[in-house]
Structure 1
Amino acid sequence: MAYTTTPGDVEMALEERTVVLVEKKSSTGQIWKVTGALLIVALCIGGVLLFAWYWNGRPEMKMQSGQTEALTKKDTSEKPDHHDALRRIGIKAKAAIHLEGSYDEDSESNQLEWRNGQGQAFAQGGFKLENNQIIIPQKGLFFVYSQVSFRVPCSDGDERRGAGKGLTPLSHRIWRYTDSIGSKVSLMNAVRSACQSTPQEDSNHSGQGWYNAIYLGAVFNLNKGDKLWTETNQLSALETEEGKTFFGVFAL
């Protein structure tokens, strides 16, 4: 705002002079208005460009983020952690049991005894050996197997009378008891006759006996708590050296 004084008559008194207010336009205010408008337009354009860049760059950002995370996991996995390795092995390990057989003629039980913790025998995954029986740890599919080896002394008959070798029957069976049935059932069994050989084989094995093995193996759907055991005849002819007579189960 500027103040101006109107020309007055010299003869008039000073009190009678009229004061008129005249508005004077400022160039500085117009400059600030133009500058503000340009700033607003620039901000709008910048926001649009920033949004477009962000939207187009999201897949790359995700990819880089994923790669970084993968590299981090890789670096972590490469660090030696024996406890973690043992834990992973324990999780992946299947339940299994493998037993070695032994027989003592002087034992009162008069049966083939299965032993854990000797030779190649082991048990893991919840399997137990109780009262010479394998206890199944959980319900599922299992492969059950067993082998018994024999050395049977064959007696010569009276060849002049036409009598041949005396046949000796060998048998091996795996029994199962389950609460759902309430009684024992036969899972597998095999019967074989010993001392079946030609005269030439008899001469080659004279005084050594007749060797043979019975092997049983198949897949069964068993329940938790089922009991498995074996029954074998001709115990005195059993070969119980390591790897010849065994009994086992493993989960599938």
Structure 2
Amino acid sequence: MVGGYGAIGTTISEMLAAAGATCIVAGRNGERSRGLAKEFHARGWNAAGAEVDASNVKAVRDLTDGLVKEHGTIDILVNCVGFHKEQPFLEVTEDAFDEVYTKTLRVGMFLSQAVARHQVAVGRGGSQVHLLSVRSSLAFRDRGYSSMCAAKGGLAILMKQQATELAPHQITVNGIAPSAVRTRKNDEVLRDPAAFQRAAANIPFGRLATPTDVAGAVLFFASPLSRFVTGQTLFVDGALTAGT
């Protein structure tokens, strides 16, 4: 679980660990990764923490090599890594665009590749899940989302290509595309009724997604229930895209 201690990643890690997976919580902050794993251990779940900069390809390959050496295989990859820098289209800088690309699309490519090499070698199949966004297929009106839409949209089609090439090895690759998610990061702002109304205005369900909504979709793709489902994007959006 890369990006496993963030606002959404923590809930995904928790749900996977509770379901019986040996959850490796990985992220740039090793202290936070190990701290969350320690909490899981206290609850009787199998977990470990690992420090990795997911945009560093060598570090990612070293991590996956080490995990396979220790555990024998990596059955599930969940990529919850991404970066966004909002800028109006006419003000997008090269540095900002490159940073969003590097920390989002490039991560999805080489993280998936590093894990897939081991999954193919072991020959037991596996699953990979990428966290996308509804912005992988929808533009955002009146907001400066060019870099994010490009990176997440690129990851959405990359995921389909990965699924096609890995299908002969019984490895599934799917994406979760939530609309806005209510987390501890934005909860205080959303307590203002006007702010909440603006955020949920176009969502037929009348609310934002929760980390549990997202984690449940990840659990489905990571479980045997989805062994014949691959190359798909599941929109967790309260019917936002259905009515768009």
- Alignment TM-score, normalising by the size of structure 2: 0.26
Larger RCO, structure (CA 8 Å, separation 6 or more): 1
Structure number with higher strand proportion: 1
Larger-Rg structure: 1
- Alignment TM-score, normalising by the size of structure 1: 0.26
